[in-house]
Amino acid sequence: MKLIVGLGNPGRTYARNRHNIGFMCLSHFARTQGIRLDRSQGKARTGIGKVAGETVVLARPKTGMNLSGESVRQLVRRLNINPEDVIVIHDDLDLPLGKIRIRHGGSAGGHKGVNSIINHLGSGDFCRIKIGIGRPLIAASSAKEKEAAVINYVLSDFTPEERKIIAEVIPKVSQSLHCLLTEGLAAAMNRYN
């Protein structure tokens, strides 16, 4: 069994934000696999199905991005799985817009949602599918101003030009996830990184 978690912030206000690309990708994957996100468990909207014979639980945490670990920990315990059976889909400021990077383990890289998951699981030993959203050009001088600019950037919607790129990337993320589940990590990394 695999737990696949798309990160984002719940609610219409955030639906098209850069920070919600994980939600967008998970929803697309659910549609392509005929899985309905129609359950509520572990502080998440969930759906269960099979992909190539493997049982998968898809989850969109309802905790808010920075507390995603609360939901993931509850689901991991409820499903009785290990961190190695978790796949997290999330945005990445350090990747160019639309770039996909798949990796297993490592640090949070400054991502507060991933950091929350690592802290709550007590392990960073899970797979991540990162989608580049680019980093804003920041003219601010202080660390506080830079952080505020980054927060404003990730909590703003994609521009019309960016939406065109993201519309092409979301199906590729679904393909990479399917590859990861059916062919394994090495194949998915070689094909989509």
Asked if pLDDT for residue 46 goes beyond 80, the answer is yes
Indicate the residue type of 87. I
Query: Each residue of 111-159: pLDDT tens digit?
Result: 999 999 999 999 999 999 999 999 888 776 788 888 888 999 999 999 9
Indicate the residue type of 175. Q
pTM: 0.96
Lowest average pLDDT, out of 8-22, 25-39, 40-54, 133-147, goes to 133-147
| Alpha carbon distances (Å) from 193 to 57, 101, 102, 135, 174 | 24, 5, 6, 19, 14
Query: Which residues are bridge partners to 30 per DSSP?
Result: none
Domain locations in the chain? 2-192
Cβ atoms of residues 2 and 56 within 8 Å:
yes
Cβ atoms of residues 90 and 109 within 8 Å:
no
Asked if pLDDT for residue 163 goes beyond 70, the answer is yes
Q: Which of 19, 28, 104, 178 is catalytic?
A: 19
- Give CA–CA dist 182/101, Å, rounded: 18
Residue ranges of alpha helices (H) inside the chain are: 21-33, 68-79, 112-121, 143-154, 160-183, 185-192
Nearest to 192 by CA among 128, 111, 113, 114: 128
Is there a catalytic annotation at residue 19? Answer: yes
DSSP 62: S
| Alpha carbon distances (Å) from 85 to 109, 124, 159 | 21, 12, 34
Query: Each residue of 60-111: pLDDT tens digit?
Result: 999 999 999 999 999 999 999 999 999 999 999 999 999 999 999 999 999 9
- Give CA–CA dist 16/158, Å, rounded: 7
Q: Is 53 helix (H, G, I), strand (E, B) or coil?
A: coil
Cβ atoms of residues 101 and 193 within 8 Å:
yes
CATH class of 2-192: alpha beta
- pLDDT at residue number 52: 87
